[in-house]
Each structure stands twice: as C-alpha cells, then as structure tokens.
Chain A
Amino acid sequence: SAVISQKPSRDICQRGTSLTIQCQVDSQVTMMFWYRQQPGQSLTLIATANQGSEATYESGFVIDKFPISRPNLTFSTLTVSNMSPEDSSIYLCSVEGLRQGATNYGYTFGSGTRLTVV
C-alpha cells in the first residue's frame, strides 16, 4: 500500500493567520482526499484533489477557506485560511491504494496534522 508523509504533525497558530499542510505520497495516485476531524468527532471529507483540475469540495467547505493545490501525482497541500479557534482539528490526507491484480489495498492515511488555533 502507499506510504504518505504529512507535515507538520502539529502546530499552534494565531487566529487570523493561515497554515499550509503538505502531503507527499511515495507513488503516483489519481485522487487525494483531505479530511477534518474535529475534537471528539469522526472524520469529515473536506475535498477531493485531482491532479490538473480544481478540487471538488464537499458541502460546507469552500475554496476560499480551504484552498488546495495538486501540482503533480504525488503531492498535495491544504491551506487553512484566516483561522479561528473553530478550525482547531486534526487534518488528514488520504489516498486509495493501487490495485494490483485482484488486490485492492484500500485507503491509506497520513499521520495527521493536529492544529490548535489560539
């Protein structure tokens, strides 16, 4: 299955500032997914990022707040813009594993970025 490097692992940011989270995959993948996990909650999909096209955002998430870049097939960034304390969450990137023969490796997740906004 794919290996994902996500950074930073955690950060404490001032309200009103922006943070860019990076996700690097060790193999080429068509789609990358960005999730948010608010304290005590499960994961919610923010957007799907395809290389060469604009990201597709889920209901409740907008590009101005969460701009995403996907410059190539192994890398993506998520920016959390104009942060407020409500943005304090764990942010995770994910990819679907490559299919080899009859094997589907399912989804692999990065280790997450724990963001605290003060």
Chain B
Amino acid sequence: KQEVTQIPAALSVPEGENLVLNCSFTDSAIYNLQWFRQDPGKGLTSLLLIQSSQREQTSGRLNASLDKSSGRSTLYIAASQPGDSATYLCAPQTGSARQLTFGSGTQLTVLP
C-alpha cells in the first residue's frame, strides 16, 4: 500500500525567500506524481504533474523534481509571496485504478 510523507508539516517564511517542500513515497511503481495546493476550506488546485518518465517539471516560480527510484519528489518555490500561503499536497498515482494517495501536506505561511 502506498504511503506518502511530507516534510516539513508546517513552514513559515518571510516574503521573497526560496523554499523547498519534500515528499517521499514507499511504492516507486508510480504512473505520475501531482502537486496540489489547497486553500483553507476549499478544493484542490493542481500545480504540477510529473510523469514517471520525467525528472522535473516547471511552471512559473514552481519547479518540481522526481526521483522515482528513491521515492522522492521536491517542490521548489522561488521568490515566495503571501499569496503562496496554502497547504501543499503531494500525490503519487499508483495501482490498477491509477488512484492518488495523498500525503498529509505542508502548511505554508508566507509573511509580508
């Protein structure tokens, strides 16, 4: 059964800092891995999708890397802004139903 761990659980940084969120997973037989953000009480917004054959994916100030063999993914956020404050969730896709398994998330607060 896939298990996903995200570190740190919470992070508070001043505006402008570059930061790294970590995700590890136990079953390396993944189809792809997706990063989401969730604002309080809201649904999920997809940030980046990395396919199993890729090593990284970029969108604006976000860059996600994937090391499938070691079961790790990293989300890098450059020049953080208060609007980046949210919970970030990592979710590898595995199994015959291609379902997502979620980590517990990293709660990010960017202080102005």
Tally of contacts, chain A with chain B, CB under 8 A:
57
Instruction: Identify B42's interface contact among A1, A56, A112, CB under 8 A.
Output: A112
Q: How far is the CB of B36 from chain A (nearest CB, A)?
A: 8
The answer to whether B46 touches A90 (Cβ under 8 A) is: no
Q: Is B97 touching A48 in the complex (CB atoms < 8 A)? A: yes
Partner of A105, one of B36, B49, B98, B104: B49
The answer on a CB contact under 8 Å between B99 and A111 is no
What distance in Å separates the Cβ of A30 from its nearest Cβ neighbour in chain B?
10
Closest A residue, CB atoms, query B89: A42
Query: Could you list 15 further interchain pairs (A-B, Cβ under 8 angstroms) beyond the known A43-B44, A106-B49?
Result: A42-B104, A42-B105, A43-B100, A43-B102, A45-B99, A45-B100, A56-B97, A92-B43, A94-B100, A104-B32, A107-B100, A110-B43, A111-B42, A112-B43, A114-B41
> Chain B interface (Cβ within 8 Å of chain A)?
32, 34, 36, 41-46, 49, 51, 89, 91, 93, 97-105
